[in-house]
Every structure is written in structure tokens, then in C-alpha cells.
A and B are shown apart, each in its own frame.
Chain A
Amino acid sequence: MARIWRHGKVAVALATVLAAGLTACSSGSPGSTSGGATGTQDSVDAALKAGGTITYWTWTPQAQAQVDAFEKEYPNVKVNLVNPGKANDAYTKLQNAIKAGSGAPDVAQIEYKALPQFALTGALVDLGQFGFTSFETEYTTSTWNSVHVNGGLYGLPQDSGPMAMFYNKQVFDQYKLTVPKTWSEYLDAARKLHAADPTKYIAADNGDAGSTESMIWDAGGHPFTSDGKKVTINLQDEGTKKWTTLWNQLVQNKLVANITAWTDDWYKGLGNGTIATLVTGAWMPANFESSVPDGKGKWAVAPMPTYDGGQPVTAENGGSSQAVLKQSGNAALAAAFVRWLNHGNGVKVFVQQGGFPATNADLQDPSFTGKAWDYFNGQQVNQVLTAAAGTVAKGWTYLPYQLYADSIFNDTVGKAYLNSSDLNAGLLDWQKALVDYGNQQGFSVNAS
């Protein structure tokens, strides 16, 4: 009977937990934390001296080397490095742990577009209290803006992705295409290439939320603005329209290949000349080198085309920060690690391991900009890319619920790609769904 009794205890425990879970649910959510905390780095220095153990979730390939270097420098700190999976997998786990109230790491890698969501739900520590706001001048403007939510500082930038145009020089030479400086030249090249060889396309695009946002950013659009609870969504503003006018011609005339990015077909297409250009973030060269061996010697980098042929303008694509979780038992030590990673010696290790940094000094370092890449026929690609870092269009912000927005992008805008129809209609569907969702979540959303 003892066995049964023990099971009975489990059942009682279970019932208690059930009840506790339900009440925990009704205890209300954190709402917006108004940021702007200020403090000094003393507590961080003290924590570093005292030592301890922290857990760090990241999927950057540079992480192991960074952690090794950090532990060598601070032998009394132990960092448990965990790779919880790529971006969305990692966020799902992070979200689960936050919802469960335990299991989150001390430090996590969070992309710029995801940072507002975690900051607004009260999961992150405002690093202003550790005096990190004084690092402002060290980072590129766009990345520094990206780690701020409602005036609070919720992470330190690790890398950045100012955009440039990668193009397959071999294909361009073969079909006598000139490297486009403007988007209308790009369109001409698209037509000419596809007419000359119907199996070749100027680009691959099967509807990707991240690239679409970056392209709208580049065109000067500001579709998402928010101020606390107030959110405005306008996916028909001037910049967005500028992009759809251009891109509709590519999509509706089937001048872009419907190959989904990051699939094996996509890698094949980049290697075999099917895809002639790739407009993307500055982190791409390392990917080319490791993942598209067939493209070696074929690819080159040029600045992103512009709409008016005037001053170069670009946008950010991708990029991550490191943030400290409120669940951390030792936030000061966690903050110390973040400081070392993205402000201290960690940046050097990051760059040595092929990362594209967010700090001005490292971006300007001659050994960085002057590196000749074998893969790109000896081109000093970082010259082009660091130049781009200085010309990122200003004023872009992501939605406070961008991860959700991206998850339904293909339900709405994807239809335009599926039917080769008007992108504006897809964007309006998207907007409608985002307004509804935001209002359900307690925001006051305006569509203008």
C-alpha cells in the first residue's frame, strides 16, 4: 500500500501545482517598464572580482573561442555555454523559460528585431543601471539605437549587418551586364539576364520577412513606430511604396527565382550561377566562404544600389545583441560578461573568428578593412561593407512584436509571391493582422 500512498502524494502535489499554475497565470503581466535607469559600473567590477557561474545561450560560431578567452582572463568565473538552436528555436525556448518562471540563462543572444519583444514583456535587465549608457559613442548609430527600447538599454550590440550587393561577377561578365548603381539599372539587368538565359535570375526571393523589412528600411520607409503602448503601422508609407513599385516589377514578371533562402536549393543556386545577386548584410562573406564553395572566385561585393543615384543609402539586415535576463541570479556578473563580450576583449576574438563587429574602432581598424579575401578574388570586401555601416538610413524601428509579425509574414505577403501578384495587397493584409494582434495584446494600434 505504501506505493499507492506515495502516488497519492504525487497526485496531491500535482493538484497543488495545477492550482498554482493557474493563479500564476492570473497574476498579471509585467507591462511596459519605462527605461532610463542610470548607475555606475562599480557593482559589475565587484561581481567580476567575486566570480561565480553564469549560463550563456547563443548560436554564434565565435562563442566558444570567446568563452575560452574570457575564462582565461577571469579564472574565477565559469561560463556554461549552451547553444539552444538558431534564432527562432532559441526564442521559443527563452519564451518558454520566461513563461515558466525558471530555466532562462543569465545572458542570451537576442537579435535586434527580437529585443523589443523581450524588453517590453519585462524579461530583460536595463543595463543603464550598470552605467553602460556611457558606451554610446563606441557603437555604430544604427546598432546603438537598436538596443534601446522606450529609453532603456536592454543589451550591448555584438554584430551588425549593413547591407551591400553581392554579385556573381562571372555571370555578369558572361552576359555583359554592368554592375547596377541604381535600382532601375538593377531592374534592367534583371530583365536582360533572364531574357538571355531563362534559367538565370537576378536574385532569389520567395518572400522573406527579414529582407523585406530591410528593403523597406533602405527605401526610407518607417512602417512601424511605437511609443509605449501606442503603436502605428503604415505599410503604405512613401518608402514602402517606393520599394513595392520596384519589387512588384520583379515579382510580377517572375524575374526573381522562387527559391527560399537558406535551403540547399538556395546554396546550390548561389554556387551554380542561377542566382546572380544577393543584397544582404555584411555578415555574408564568412557564409560564402564556408558554405558556397562552388562560388569561390566568382563573387564580388558592390554598394547597395540606390533609388536616385545620389548619396549611398543602406539598411541593416540581421545582427544581434547580448542581453541579461531578469531571471539571472547574478545580474551584475552577467552584465560583466556582456561588457567583456561586446565592449572589452571579446570583440577582438569575435573579429578574429570572422565576425562583423558593431564597434566603430574595430570597423575602422586597417587590419580589418584591408583584409584581402581569396574567396572574392582578393577584393577587400570590408572596405565596401564598413562604408555601408556609415550610411544606414536613420529612424527605423521594429514592432514591439516583430517575431510574431515575421511568423505570419508568409501567410499574407507570401500570397503575393505565390501568385506573382501585387505586394501592396499582401502588405495590407499583413498590416490588418498586425493591428488586430496588437490591439488584442493591449497596445493601442493605429493604422495610418
Chain B
Amino acid sequence: MTSTTAAAPAGPVSAPRSRRAGSPRRSRDRRGWLFVAPFLIVFALTFLAPVAYAFGLSLFRDQAFFGGTTFVGLDNYAEVLADAKFWESFLRVLVFLLVQVPVMLLLALISALAIDSARLHASGFFRIVVFLPYAIPAVVAALMWGFLYGDNFGLAADLNHLVGHDIVHPLSGNWVLTSIGNVVTWEFTGYNMLIFYSALRVIPGELFEAAAIDGAGAFRTIFAIKLPALRGALVIATIFSIIGSFQLFNEPSILQTLAPNAISSFYTPNMYAYNLSFNGQQYNYSATVAIVMGVITAIIAYAVQLRASRKEMQ
């Protein structure tokens, strides 16, 4: 599959470059829009228009009960930047990002290398099973893990019972972020594994032959050939994981019904924005939170991208 990701090591910025061409070529090139237009039109309707609308909303303040709407300029932005709840939720997903994403990507990497190594029995079976959780809807996944996490009658309770001590409380205040991280890791390791795996599959065979002639062992092959070839895939997987972490919503909001005190209504920035809209009817402020979060995410994703392509040039 994504042999592609390996083929474009630095991702979009240094992406596809076709050769220069003269003017007959230019008029033909304009026909490229024909192919891009359908995507862009739907994209404009379902992404850009709501973003523009949200930006419009963020400049106003509306009172759901009394009084009308007033134009407040950038006041909402100033308020978000000074909002302790917003920063608490932001720091939480940042911690989540810094811990969960490396763990998940490392697991995915090891799995991909193992499955690709030809040293594994039944590697086809492993590949499909590791990928399997990605096919499970988040609703169903949270339902299953919710049961396993139950420390009254769930598997966690059985485990505590077995050990004879109360050691795990997956839904308690101290544990719950880890528990959410576990669900996300469970769901998405296979997806990332497949991205890495397919990047490994398209490494030209000659490289391995040359390495074998040089007498390189399995580990040297990994470090000298495989990991460098995975750089592009790693960058794209990291960027998508960053976006995913900052948008964390489904898993905590579904587990919230089981752990209402440990998972607050502003547990992640996205949950905060959601609850502002749907419970507080603070649509303007909610839109502002969404935009601020989007800008931060885009900046970080772009920085990762830039760093990766700069390294590439050295």
C-alpha cells in the first residue's frame, strides 16, 4: 500500500516536483484543475465553509437567553488564551502526545520490522490480527475496554482479586489518562504498523543483497537500511498522530459515562469545545477554542514537517 510514503521521504513540502516545461505545456497544465476541482469543491463545502463560518462566529458573542449578539472582535481569542480550563486540557493532550504517540509508534515499528523480518512464524496471521483493531469502531472499542476496566465487576476487578490487592483502578483519577492511551494504542498501532510495513516492502532488494555480501547482521540491516528508508513514513505517521492526539475525543467521551468524575467536561480541548456548544450553547466561544486549537495543531505539524525536510537536506 503506502509504498508511496516511502517514496516521498519528506512529505508534502518537498513533494512531487515535475520538470520544467514550455508554454504549450502550461495550457495543458491548467487542465490539471479539472482533476483537482471536484475534490476542492466538496472540500470547500464540507471543510472550508464551516471553518470560515466558525471564524465568523468567533468574532461575535451571543447570549443564549437574554440580549442579542454583539461583535467583540478578538475578545474571544484573548479569553481563550487566558482560560485555565483550556490550558489544562491542552497540557493534558500534550502529555498524552509526548507519551502515547512514541509508545504507539515504537510498537508499530517493532511489529512492522518483526512481520517484515521473515523470521516470524505465521507472519500473515500476525499482520492481519495486529491490524484488526483498526477495523473496530471506536464505540465498540470503548464498550469492550469499558468492561475490561471495570474495577467492581470487570476484568480489572478479577485481576485485583487474583493478586489479592487493589492494584489497578483503570477508571480512577490517576489512571484514566493511561487507560485512554491504552485504548488509542490498541486501536491505532495496527494502522501505523501497516504504514511502516508497506514502506519496508518497497525497499529495493539490491540493498539487502549488498548488505548481505558485506556480512551485515539482522540488526545492522535494520539500522543501516530499514530505518532510514522508514523516515518518510515515520514523518507522516507522526504528523497524523499529532493531529489525532490534539483532537482526542471519542475515547474519553465514551469512557466518561463510566468515569464521570475522573473525565471532566473539558478533559481535552475538543471535548471542551463540544461541551461549550452542546451543553452551554456558547457557540462563539466554542468556535474560538476550535480555531485556536487548529492553529496550534497546524503549527506543530508544520514544524515537524519542516524539521524532517531540513534533516533530509543535510
> Which residues on A are within 8 Å of B, measured CB to CB?
4, 7, 10-11, 14, 18, 21-22, 25-29, 31-32, 92, 95, 99, 120-121, 206-207, 229, 257, 259-260, 263-265, 268-269, 274, 400-401, 403-404, 407-408, 410-411, 414-415, 417-418, 437, 440-443
Distance in angstroms between the alpha carbons of A410 and B255 in the assembled complex: 14
The verdict on B57 contacting chain A, using a C-beta distance below 8 Å, is yes
Distance in angstroms between the alpha carbons of A22 and B52 in the assembled complex: 11
Distance in angstroms between the alpha carbons of A14 and B48 in the assembled complex: 11
Please name all residues of chain A whose beta carbon is closer than 8 Å to the beta carbon of B102 when the two chains form the complex: none
The verdict on B264 contacting chain A, using a C-beta distance below 8 Å, is yes
Given that A10-B41, A22-B53 are known contacts, is A263 also in contact with B258, CB under 8 Å in the complex? yes
Distance in angstroms between the alpha carbons of A119 and B260 in the assembled complex: 28
Residues of B251-292 whose CB lies within 8 A of A: 257-262, 264-266, 275, 278-283
Q: Are B260 and A260 touching (Cβ within 8 A)?
A: yes
The verdict on B37 contacting chain A, using a C-beta distance below 8 Å, is yes
Contact of A27 among B37, B65, B68, B280 (CB under 8 A): B68
Question: B127-135, B148-156, B214-222: which one contacts chain A?
Answer: B148-156
The 8 closest A-B pairs by CB, nearest first: A442-B66, A28-B68, A414-B261, A407-B279, A442-B63, A410-B260, A26-B69, A442-B67
Q: Are A28 and B69 touching (Cβ within 8 A)?
A: yes
The verdict on B77 contacting chain A, using a C-beta distance below 8 Å, is no
Q: Are B261 and A407 touching (Cβ within 8 A)?
A: no
Residue-by-residue, is B227-268 near A (CB-CB < 8 Å gives 1, otherwise 0)? 000000000000000000000000000000111111011100
Q: Are A268 and B153 touching (Cβ within 8 A)?
A: yes
Contact of A229 among B41, B66, B281, B283 (CB under 8 A): B66
> Which residues on B are within 8 Å of A, measured CB to CB?
37, 41, 44-45, 49, 52-53, 56-57, 60, 62-69, 71, 147, 150, 152-154, 172-173, 257-262, 264-266, 275, 278-283
Distance in angstroms between the alpha carbons of A268 and B153 in the assembled complex: 8
Q: Are B278 and A95 touching (Cβ within 8 A)?
A: yes
Instruction: Give 23 pairs: A residue, B residue, CB < 8 Å, sorted on A.
Output: A7-B41, A11-B44, A14-B49, A18-B49, A21-B53, A22-B56, A26-B60, A26-B69, A26-B71, A29-B64, A29-B68, A29-B69, A31-B65, A92-B278, A206-B260, A206-B261, A260-B258, A265-B153, A274-B152, A403-B279, A418-B261, A441-B63, A443-B66
Q: Are A29 and B260 touching (Cβ within 8 A)?
A: no
Please name all residues of chain B whose beta carbon is closer than 8 Å to the beta carbon of A443 when the two chains form the complex: 65-66
In the complex, residue of chain B having the shortest beta-carbon distance to the beta carbon of A274:
B152
Distance in angstroms between the alpha carbons of A415 and B65 in the assembled complex: 29
Distance in angstroms between the alpha carbons of A265 and B52 in the assembled complex: 45
Given that A7-B37, A437-B280 are known contacts, is A121 also in contact with B64, CB under 8 Å in the complex? yes
Give the A-B contact count at a CB cut-off of 8 A.
119
Contact of B265 among A22, A265, A401, A411 (CB under 8 A): A411
In the complex, residue of chain B having the shortest beta-carbon distance to the beta carbon of A15:
B49
Q: Within the complex, what minimum Cβ distance (angstroms) separates B54 from chain A? A: 11
Please name all residues of chain A whose beta carbon is closer than 8 Å to the beta carbon of B71 when the two chains form the complex: 26
Q: Are A4 and B37 touching (Cβ within 8 A)?
A: yes
Give chain A's interface secondary structure class.
Answer: helix
Q: Are A29 and B65 touching (Cβ within 8 A)?
A: yes
Please name all residues of chain A whose beta carbon is closer than 8 Å to the beta carbon of B257 when the two chains form the complex: 260, 263
Q: Are B62 and A401 touching (Cβ within 8 A)?
A: no
Q: Are A120 and B65 touching (Cβ within 8 A)?
A: yes
Please name all residues of chain A whose beta carbon is closer than 8 Å to the beta carbon of B261 when the two chains form the complex: 206-207, 410, 414-415, 417-418
Q: Within the complex, what minimum Cβ distance (angstroms) separates B279 from chain A? A: 4
Which of B44, B261, B281 has the most A CB atoms < 10 Å from its CB? B261
Distance in angstroms between the alpha carbons of A325 and B153 in the assembled complex: 44
Please name all residues of chain A whose beta carbon is closer than 8 Å to the beta carbon of B62 when the two chains form the complex: 25, 29
Q: Are A95 and B45 touching (Cβ within 8 A)?
A: no
In the complex, residue of chain A having the shortest beta-carbon distance to the beta carbon of B70:
A26
Q: Are B280 and A268 touching (Cβ within 8 A)?
A: no
Please name all residues of chain A whose beta carbon is closer than 8 Å to the beta carbon of B68 when the two chains form the complex: 26-29
Distance in angstroms between the alpha carbons of A388 and B203 in the assembled complex: 76
Please name all residues of chain A whose beta carbon is closer than 8 Å to the beta carbon of B150 when the two chains form the complex: 264-265
In the complex, residue of chain A having the shortest beta-carbon distance to the beta carbon of B280:
A404
Distance in angstroms between the alpha carbons of A191 and B64 in the assembled complex: 47
Q: Are A257 and B152 touching (Cβ within 8 A)?
A: yes
Q: Are B264 and A410 touching (Cβ within 8 A)?
A: yes
Which of A206, A257, A414 has the most B CB atoms < 10 Å from its CB? A414
Q: Within the complex, what minimum Cβ distance (angstroms) separates A169 from chain B? A: 22
Contact of B65 among A14, A99, A121, A268 (CB under 8 A): A121
Q: Within the complex, what minimum Cβ distance (angstroms) separates A422 from chain B? A: 15
Please name all residues of chain B whose beta carbon is closer than 8 Å to the beta carbon of A29 when the two chains form the complex: 62-69
Please name all residues of chain B whose beta carbon is closer than 8 Å to the beta carbon of A121 when the two chains form the complex: 64-65
Distance in angstroms between the alpha carbons of A4 and B66 in the assembled complex: 45
Please name all residues of chain A whose beta carbon is closer than 8 Å to the beta carbon of B265 when the two chains form the complex: 407-408, 410-411
Q: Are B152 and A441 touching (Cβ within 8 A)?
A: no
Distance in angstroms between the alpha carbons of A92 and B253 in the assembled complex: 15
Q: Are B57 and A25 touching (Cβ within 8 A)?
A: yes
Please name all residues of chain B whose beta carbon is closer than 8 Å to the beta carbon of A265 when the two chains form the complex: 150, 152-154
Please name all residues of chain B whose beta carbon is closer than 8 Å to the beta carbon of A7 when the two chains form the complex: 37, 41
Q: Within the complex, what minimum Cβ distance (angstroms) separates B76 from chain A? A: 12
Q: Within the complex, what minimum Cβ distance (angstroms) separates B33 from chain A? A: 9
Q: Are B64 and A441 touching (Cβ within 8 A)?
A: yes
Please name all residues of chain A whose beta carbon is closer than 8 Å to the beta carbon of B262 when the two chains form the complex: 418
Which of A18, A260, A417, A443 has the most B CB atoms < 10 Å from its CB? A260
Beyond A407-B265, A441-B63, 17 extra complex contacts between A and B, CB < 8 Å:
A18-B49, A26-B68, A27-B68, A29-B62, A29-B66, A31-B65, A121-B64, A260-B258, A264-B147, A401-B65, A407-B279, A407-B280, A408-B279, A411-B264, A418-B262, A437-B280, A441-B65
Q: Are B45 and A10 touching (Cβ within 8 A)?
A: yes
Please name all residues of chain B whose beta carbon is closer than 8 Å to the beta carbon of A18 when the two chains form the complex: 49, 52-53, 56
